[in-house]
Structure 1
Amino acid sequence: MPKVNPYYRGPASDHFDGTRFFNPNGRQPRGMGDLLRWQLGRGKVRWPTHYPSPFQQAKPDLSIEADRLRVTMIGHASLLIQVHGFNILTDPVWAHRVSPFSFVGPARRNAPGIEMDDLPPIDLVLVTHNHYDHLDLDTLAALNEEHSPLIVTPLGNDTIIRRAVPDATISVLDWGDRLDLEDELVIHAEPCHHWSARGSGDRRMALWAAFVIETPVGKIYHVGDTGFHGGINYRAAREKHGGFRLANLPFGAYEPRWFMQDHHQNPEEAVQGMIDCAADHVAGHHWGTFRLTDEGVDAPVKALEQALDEAEIARTRFRAMRPGEIFDVPPSSSTRQ
């Protein structure tokens, strides 16, 4: 393991030891022995080669009315958020495979919910961490060439991006940092319980984060990947930001639990996260596009519906988004679960 961090150099903190980032009072990723135990074990449910979305590919408006909030699912954790005159992409991936190799690795089971050529002008791109299903360098290069957006990402990921897209405009945030943009838009980087790696030798050398998008028409909480971690980060986000009009929460890629539970929450935990962070509505993501773990392709939705029913939360408040689906998020209510 390298002793010098190739992506970031900076002072030690409560989540950086001078070489590697870590989850305070949390768990670090399991080692190679556990990985092999999982990969060689049984329990993987087969996925269909194709899992088409019931929605047609969307052709978004160039912008929407100032007081509206619209989310369109592209696939996995890639969402188009349109709010207050801004067009924002989260963790954009148009690649066929999420892998360091073009010929092997998890392959896309459905088409992107928006063709790249049909995107409206993109102002802002949020990249939560450097795993291949969240940071796709070819996609970022294409977006930069066509739209020249501002890319916001946690510490160290800028180095990775700039090697492939040297002229990109990038703002780099640590946990707790904020970035004030024009027209009262503010981006906050907040903790989540995860990890990072692009290969076998760079584990935890770039930071991972969730983002809060603060707008005049409500706050949005985007979590790319996280373990539930006892709800600590959700409750902290609620305490700091006072609840959310919308949270984008992962609820797939969670089996087997002995291996995944520290860093990928399951549907029941995602529902509890919705409650803990005081989100009026949730755009559920991280399921049905790339087969990363053992559960069946539609198992997350079935488990989500059961968890919502048990929590007495209307299913319409937590939507399991499919590629091409458009969600016009209602205004915040005065009461929350």
Structure 2
Amino acid sequence: MKSLSLYSILVLFVLSCFADASVRTSHHTPTGFKNPNPNFETKGFWNVITWQIQRFRLPHSVDPVDYPNFPVVENDGSQLKTNLSQLSVTWVGHATTLIQIDGVNILTDPIWSERCSPVSFIGPKRYTPPGIKIDDLPKIDLIILSHNHYDHTDLPTLKQLEEKFHPLVLTGLGNRKLLLDEGIRNVQEMDWWEKTTMKDLQITFTPTQHFSGRGLFDRDKTLWGSYLISGKKEKVYFGGDTGYYTHFQEVTNQLGPVDIAILPIGATEPRWLMEPVHIDPKQAVQAFGDLKAKYLVPMHYMTFVLSDEPLDSPVPRTIEELKRAGFKEGQLVSLKIGESRFF
């Protein structure tokens, strides 16, 4: 066998350097996936135990019994069933919204279950009812899932929606088998920045700063993310679950400004624990600005108790941050659970 020339050795060295660089910068890993932020770090098991002990010293209650006036409106779906063209957003609760755009009906992270848990008898309990019954929904064409946590990928709900509507389900890489095993038939996995189409829509799976896992040994083995839905004239961004990083600006740089940003503002405290994975109202407003959006629709609050902030605090705090950042209060569309807004 001929020996390698000095030139060949140099070429191989340069190529290997580029290969190593691509591995370092990619969100793919040998065992799963990682965040775009190289400094991302979540807290470990003992930090969670510390948090649970500290909760006994909170100066306020996180028991929903002490917050009796959560606004919930009845929605029989009649307007939604007759809307064939107008852009609308309906808040069902938590991260579940119904988006209607260009005649396509889309559900985000649907959960109608009483608990977000591996089992039905224990775990975070729903304290506000879903804003609309599944039987009152218009025909659902598409479901988008941001990640596989139990409050965002709820298998009992997905099976009900499959039986009634047979929608296309979009999800991050690695989640297809879980859904197929539960009888969800039309599932498409997506990688970050991958695009797919439905009728006149283009849907892009975009990065977030979060993590995945449904058990003790599957941490980050499936991909998490957000979605940019581009219609004929309007764009809707669904943020899923995320900490704050440059990915919001990257969405704008690559796909342009959006009309409606559906962003989480709950499950934020204590910040020393939640900041890597959950934006707070101030960061939600920063993300809103990064996305150059016209309207901010908040979600991920007022449904399950997952953190320590007062349950009636996210929207007032977001209003304060909007004013501080120079936005108009009218750009915040703080829907009641069950409420629809037509744009």
TM-score, normalisation: structure 2: 0.88
| Counterpart amino acid of residue 112 in structure 2 | W
2:290 aligned counterpart, secondary structure: helix
1:87 aligned counterpart, secondary structure: strand
Q: How does 1:120-199 map to 2 (within 5 A)?
A: 120-165=138-183, 167-182=184-199, 184-199=200-215
Question: C-alpha distance in 2, partners of 1:223/1:86?
Answer: 19
| Counterpart amino acid of residue 190 in structure 2 | L
- 1:100 Cα deviation (Å)? 1.0
Question: C-alpha distance in 2, partners of 1:63/1:35?
Answer: 47
2:260 aligned counterpart, secondary structure: strand
On the 8 A contact 1:109/1:290 being kept in 2, the answer is yes
Per-residue CA deviations over 1:15-69 (Å, capped at 9, x if unaligned) read: 1212121113241432111111111213373222355424223424224242x21
| Counterpart amino acid of residue 216 in structure 2 | S
TM-score, normalisation: structure 1: 0.89
2:230 aligned counterpart, secondary structure: strand
Question: C-alpha distance in 1, partners of 2:312/2:165?
Answer: 35
Structure 1 residue aligned with 2:5: none
1:273 aligned counterpart, secondary structure: helix
1:111 aligns with 2:129: yes
What 5-or-longer segments of structure 1 have no aligned partner?
Answer: 1-10, 330-337
Per-residue CA deviations over 1:64-104 (Å, capped at 9, x if unaligned) read: 242x2100110000000111010100000000001112111
| Counterpart amino acid of residue 279 in structure 2 | Q
1:218 aligns with 2:237: no
| Counterpart amino acid of residue 37 in structure 1 | T
Q: In terms of mean alpha carbon deviation, does 219-228 or 319-328 score higher?
A: 319-328
On the 8 A contact 1:185/1:214 being kept in 2, the answer is yes
1:288 aligned counterpart, secondary structure: coil
Structure 2 residue aligned with 1:18: 30
On the 8 A contact 1:28/1:195 being kept in 2, the answer is no
Structure 1 residue aligned with 2:320: 306
Structure 1 residue aligned with 2:251: 237
On the 8 A contact 1:64/1:83 being kept in 2, the answer is no
Equivalent residues, number: 314
Between the aligned residues of both structures, percent identity stands at 36
| Counterpart amino acid of residue 169 in structure 1 | N
Per-residue CA deviations over 1:253-281 (Å, capped at 9, x if unaligned) read: 10000000010000010011101110111
State which of 61, 66, 89 in structure 2 corresponds to 1:45: 61
State which of 211, 223, 238 in structure 2 corresponds to 1:207: 223
Question: C-alpha distance in 2, partners of 1:112/1:26?
Answer: 37
Question: C-alpha distance in 2, partners of 1:123/1:191?
Answer: 23
What 5-or-longer segments of structure 2 have no aligned partner?
Answer: 1-21
Structure 2 residue aligned with 1:31: 44
2:32 aligned counterpart, secondary structure: coil
Q: In terms of mean alpha carbon deviation, does 134-143 or 103-112 score higher?
A: 103-112
| Counterpart amino acid of residue 188 in structure 2 | S
| Structure having the higher Rg | 2
